[in-house]
Amino acid sequence: MTGSEVSPSFRLAYVPGVTPTKWVRIWNERLPGVPLTLIAVSAAEAFDVLRGGGADAGFVRLPVDRTDLSAIPLYTETTVVMVPKDHVVAAVDEVSAEDLADDVVLHPLDDTLDWERRPGRTANERPATTADAVELVAAGVGLLVAPQSIARLHHRKDLTYRPVSDAPESRIALSWPQDETTELVEQFIGIVRGRTVNSSRGRPTPAQPKHKRPDTGGGGRKPAAGKSTGKSPRSGSGGSKGGKRGKPRRRS
């Protein structure tokens, strides 16, 4: 390798709540010579990181501006409400947004849920981050509605969560710059989509050599169109009976 050549590598950004472990493991198995670097980013800055070349691809939360970014939706998350363990909500299996009408529901500045109308009573101030909002929930200041993966990420022994049946959902997607669909990006897309290593769009496999059929002296081969075989056609195995006359036999 010359000094001007750069070893290949792949940089993968991911937003809070996404666990890329499975895909990273498959990458390392299939491309052991190409190191994969994980880059943790906030949901708000993820798109700027991709546009600025800070990552080759990234797990982001929809929506994605398709003007200059490509995206493949992967899965939809359940939306939950985080509450103290002694809160009345903890006694039920599921709630609706209307059930939260009398509670203060925190709405952090980095919230990714697309609300038409936010549930509950509005807090005096919006927390700067989801992590700050979780601290306020633990302090009894209010409740927090968030994707389930975020609730798991900020797990605390004094908090629990329950699904919110009619809340907007958050969807996770793989995104990358439209003009940077490199071979390595295609490889990662294949991994995320579950393609096997031998699939048509997976890693290229060498062409198998064609085996030449042994020459059996013409038996079993069809003559080329327009060429004579040197023999007259017969109908059945008994000569020309019931069909065209074959070539007369010469008496001995």
Task: Tell me how far apart the alpha carbons of residues 101 and 25 are, in angstroms, rounded to a whole number.
Answer: 44
Q: What is the mean pLDDT of each run of 10 residues along the chain (252 residues)?
A: 64 97 96 97 95 97 94 96 97 96 96 91 94 97 97 96 96 95 96 80 46 50 47 45 49 47
User: Angle, to 10 degrees, between the axis of helix 21-30 and the axis of helix 183-192?
Assistant: 120
57 DSSP β-pair partners: 12
pLDDT at site 100: 97
Write the CATH number of the domain with boundaries 10-76+171-192.
3.40.190.10
Residue 5 is predicted with a pLDDT of 58
10-76+171-192 and 79-168: identical CATH topology: yes
Architecture of domain 79-168: 3-Layer(aba) Sandwich (3.40)
| Residue 65 contacts residue 132 (beta carbons within 8 Å) | no
What pLDDT, on the 0 to 100 scale, is given for residue 105? 97
Burial class (CB in 10 A: 0-12, 13-18, 19+), 4: exposed
Nearest Cα residue to 163 out of 106, 87, 90? 90
The per-residue pLDDT for 3 is 43
Domain ranges of the chain: 10-76+171-192, 79-168
The answer to whether the CB of 90 falls within 8 A of the CB of 162 is yes
